[in-house]
Structure 1
């Protein structure tokens, strides 16, 4: 394989890994928590 292809694969892997890390961090910090929305509807 050409050296350019190896560089492209490494860059693609780095972007994928960083996206996974950012997603896991935001999930851990409760960014996707929607319980407040449902609690507001139940208080009616």
Structure 2
């Protein structure tokens, strides 16, 4: 679902900080998962 344009949402520092924190955590989790994944492609990933 597309995000509303910035003008439609009032400035909310607490919400921004929370979203920023979540985004950072997700990036770290994704990075750790990427490093933990074996380099050879998974069987279901083959064409």
Structure 2: stretches of 5+ with no match in the other structure:
1-9
TM-score, normalization: structure 1? 0.61
Aligned residues: 35
Runs of 4+ residues over 6 Å off in structure 1:
none
Higher helix share: 1
Structure of higher RCO (CA pairs closer than 8 Å, 6+ residues apart): 1
TM-score, normalization: structure 2? 0.58
What RMSD, in angstroms, separates the aligned Cα atoms of the two structures?
2.9
Structure 1: stretches of 5+ with no match in the other structure:
38-44
